[in-house]
Amino acid sequence: MTSALERVSATALKKVTPSQREKKKVLSIAENLVQRVKTAAKKAGVNAKVRVEGSVAKDTWLREEPDIDIFMRVPTSMPREVFGTVCLKIAKEATRGFKQVERFAEHPYLEAFVNSTRVNIVPCYQVKPGEWVSATDRTPFHTDYVKPRLNDQLRSEIRLLKQFMKGIGVYGAEIKVGGVSGYLCELLTLQYNSFVGVLKSAADLRDVWLIDYEGYYKGRNAASSVRKECLIEFVAASREFL
């Protein structure tokens, strides 16, 4: 007999999983922009490696939020003082004709809207793991770590977890939210194998929640952006939902 939890999860999954047609459309936009960024970078004399990163690259994006992240990896020989300016100029050239919005995290990046789809063109440096120059240098390695560990079932579980986080208002690593990033949702799902598995672990939380299956405890904390209030909200919501 199907449980109420399974029925609710199945209904939610239908709502948040993009169709094959939607996936094809988003991937087509992404690949077109990758080529445009490559062309603009070459025109500017910058030897950049360009590819899709984030949830679109890993096929873990939510149906109504197909944000496309295009990362432009430039040589470390490019000085930091011109890094943002040069890369922003390339991004603007690549998305000429579309609505553009300059954004700023640690350094500038460009947000553009292509056929009503949000696209972020983000610069970073070509580095070896651990030799970070900018905060965004890690992202391509996140993609490389997660992608080979996924299958269709895990992608579905990740989508459920992301939507749950969004529903309770704790999804997003930006400062104004201080919540759970998409990458962290992926790591949690890989650890516990399912959406419900993550919730059960959160529901049992009493003190410290330490997940370190690669032995990187003294390195970077992938959950460092999560504010205590957001964690408490997630724990309470997990208990209530279960």
Query: For residue 165, what are the domain limits?
Result: 150-241
Same domain? 191 vs 229 = yes
The answer to whether residue 110 sits within a structural domain is: yes
Q: CA angle, 87 as apex, 23 and 58 as ends, to 5°?
A: 25
H or E element, residue 49 = strand 49-53
Same domain? 84 vs 174 = no
Whichever domain contains 202, its CATH number is 1.10.1410.30
Tell me: pLDDT of 14 over 60: yes
Q: Which of 83, 117, 146 corresponds to the end of one domain? A: 146
Q: CA angle, 106 as apex, 105 and 107 as ends, to 5°?
A: 85
In the prediction, which pLDDT does 155 show?
A: 98
Whichever domain contains 118, its CATH number is 3.30.460.10
Residue 96 pLDDT level (bands cut at 50, 70, 90): very high
Same domain? 172 vs 206 = yes
The answer to whether residue 163 sits within a structural domain is: yes
% pLDDT > 70, the chain: 99
Same domain? 128 vs 76 = yes
Q: Which of 118, 146, 174 corresponds to the end of one domain? A: 146
For the segment 49-64, what is each residue's pLDDT rounded down to a tens digit? 999 999 999 999 999 8
Distance CA 98, CA 149 (A): 35
Q: Which of 107, 123, 146 corresponds to the end of one domain? A: 146
Residue ranges with strand state E in 91-238: 99-104, 108-114, 117-125
In the prediction, which pLDDT does 95 show?
A: 96
For the segment 109-123, what is each residue's pLDDT rounded down to a tens digit? 999 999 889 999 999
The answer to whether residue 11 sits within a structural domain is: no
Distance CA 179, CA 150 (A): 23
Same domain? 187 vs 90 = no
For the segment 209-229, what is each residue's pLDDT rounded down to a tens digit? 888 877 777 777 888 889 999
Q: Which range is most confident: 3-7, 77-81, 156-160?
A: 156-160
